[in-house]
């Protein structure tokens, strides 16, 4: 049995060496995809998002508001437009994400305590950018309003502490856990990389067996004895390659980049190994449903490509409908990412991870 496994392993290594396609699938393309994702989110925090300003008042207070907007690291004033129409044309041409309109008589109405409106029009096709802009603008306008009210109260009370207390009678302290700086690199990349990684595992496994059957070499390759050993030997190079790639990028994110890892690398890497094997088995199950190379690749794409949406990272699990929950449960990567998060953020004990490890093993 060991001889059959060793022979199959050696043949697969030789097959990979002689196939540019398999070399791309097992090394170049995964590495390129990971580097691309890392480079896109490397900054981590969205800042200097361009907006247009329409100041219909041009008073001292409106200029102070504009100063506060420009001082925000999230916002960048791309244009001081003369009209709303001109500003909206910048949104349509994707030069800015939002338009802020300051109403006429802004300063006079503020001083008369008539609550003038500052209108913000946002392009919410970009959901994430829209949320970031909304939060930044609300914070900036609230800060500016607080400054005005503080000055007015200071004139009346002649006491800075009393003036500040009137503006904000209740203090609020918000302490974020696990992602203190709201960094999207840590939030998204740690889930995006496994979501891409599992696609390559399935495709590489299907290609390996698909090429064999396409060239009518399955009978000569498997024969009638030690078929299980030969299948394991054939899959083993990909198991080693993809476990190694996953481990290297895990160490890169939580080692080289300095993100703190609360739990155990050993448990996470073991779960990663189980996930690789699980996806290889799933790829074989898809393949033996019809032994059709092209159709199996399509099935593999349908099964793996949407995985990121079901991980529960960008969309909460408790808001998913029954179909989404079932789809999530049949993806080994969702259980792996859940374990990875519990190890990275919480440093969960091994006994708390047994259920997740058994679930992945069940595949």
The dihedral sign for the CA sequence 57, 60, 66, 68: negative
**In which element (H, E) is residue 256 found?**
none
> Quick check: 201 pLDDT over 90?
yes
Residues 80 and 210 both lie in one domain: no
CA atoms lying within 13 Å on the CB side of residue 26: 27
The owner of tokens 């696609």 is 199
Question: Exposed e or buried b for every residue in 113-128, given b needs 16+ CB within 10 A?
Answer: eeebebeebbbeeeee
> Is residue 358 assigned to a domain?
yes
Residues 190 and 305 both lie in one domain: yes
Residues 105 and 161 both lie in one domain: yes
Residues 187 and 321 both lie in one domain: yes
> Is residue 295 assigned to a domain?
yes
Residues 311 and 102: their CA atoms lie apart, in Å, by 42
Contacts (Cβ under 8 Å, ≥6 apart) of 183: 44, 45
Within a 10 A sphere around the Cβ of 209, how many other Cβ atoms?
21
Q: Please give the mean pLDDT across all residues of the chain.
A: 86
Residues 249 and 308 both lie in one domain: yes
**pLDDT single digits (tens) 56-87:** 888 888 888 888 888 888 898 888 877 888 88
Of 339, 317, 313, the closest CA to residue 327 belongs to: 317
At 101, which CATH number?
Answer: 3.40.1710.10
pLDDT for position 153: 55
Q: DSSP per residue over 185-253, as a string?
A: IIIIIHHHHHHHHHHHHHHHHHHHHHHHHHTT-HHHHH-SS-HHHHHHHHHHHHHHHHHHHHHHHHHII
Residues 193 and 131 both lie in one domain: no
Query: CA-based Rg of the chain, rounded to a whole angstrom?
Result: 28
Domain interval for residue 33: 2-42+181-362
> Quick check: 332 pLDDT over 80?
yes
Within a 10 A sphere around the Cβ of 50, how many other Cβ atoms?
15
Residues 163 and 284 both lie in one domain: no
Tally of structural domains, the chain: 2
> Quick check: 172 pLDDT over 80?
no
Residues 333 and 226 both lie in one domain: yes
> Is residue 293 assigned to a domain?
yes
Residues 127 and 158 both lie in one domain: yes
**pLDDT single digits (tens) 113-156:** 788 888 888 887 887 788 889 888 888 888 777 666 655 655 56
Residues 72 and 85: their CA atoms lie apart, in Å, by 25
């Amino acid at each position: 049995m060991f001889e059959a496994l060793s022979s199959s392993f050696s043949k697969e290594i030789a097959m990979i060496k002689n196939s540019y396609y398999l070399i791309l699938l097992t090394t170049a393309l995964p590495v390129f995809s990971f580097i691309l994702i890392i480079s896109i989110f490397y900054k981590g925090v969205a800042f200097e998002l361009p907006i247009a300003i329409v100041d219909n008042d041009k008073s001292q207070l409106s200029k102070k508001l504009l100063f506060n907007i420009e001082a925000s690291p999230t916002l960048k004033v791309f244009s001081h437009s003369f009209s709303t129409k001109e500003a909206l044309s910048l949104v349509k041409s994707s030069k800015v994400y939002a338009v802020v309109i300051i109403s006429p008589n802004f300063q006079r109405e503020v001083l008369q305590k008539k609550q003038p409106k500052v209108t913000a029009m946002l392009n919410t096709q970009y959901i994430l950018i829209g949320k970031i802009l909304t939060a930044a603008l609300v914070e900036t306008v609230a800060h500016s309003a607080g400054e005005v009210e503080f000055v007015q109260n200071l004139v009346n009370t002649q006491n800075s502490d009393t003036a500040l207390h009137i503006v904000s009678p209740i203090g609020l302290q918000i302490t974020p856990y696990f992602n203190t700086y709201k960094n999207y690199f840590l939030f998204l990349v740690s889930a995006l990389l496994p979501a891409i990684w599992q696609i390559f595992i399935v495709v590489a496994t299907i290609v390996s067996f698909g090429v064999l059957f396409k060239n009518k070499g399955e009978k000569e390759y498997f024969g009638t004895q030690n078929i299980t050993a030969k299948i394991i030997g054939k899959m083993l190079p990909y198991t080693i390659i993809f476990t190694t790639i996953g481990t290297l990028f895990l160490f890169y994110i939580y080692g080289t980049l300095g993100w703190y890892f609360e739990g155990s690398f050993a448990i996470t890497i073991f779960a990663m190994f189980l996930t690789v094997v699980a996806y290889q088995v799933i790829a074989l199950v898809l393949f033996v449903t019809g032994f059709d190379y092209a159709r199996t690749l399509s099935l593999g794409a349908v099964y793996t490509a949407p995985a990121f949406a079901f991980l529960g990272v960008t969309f909460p699990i408790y808001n998913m409908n029954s179909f989404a929950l079932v789809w999530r449960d049949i993806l080994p990567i969702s259980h792996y990412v859940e374990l990875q998060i519990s190890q990275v953020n919480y440093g969960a004990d091994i006994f708390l991870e047994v259920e997740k490890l058994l679930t992945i093993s069940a595949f």
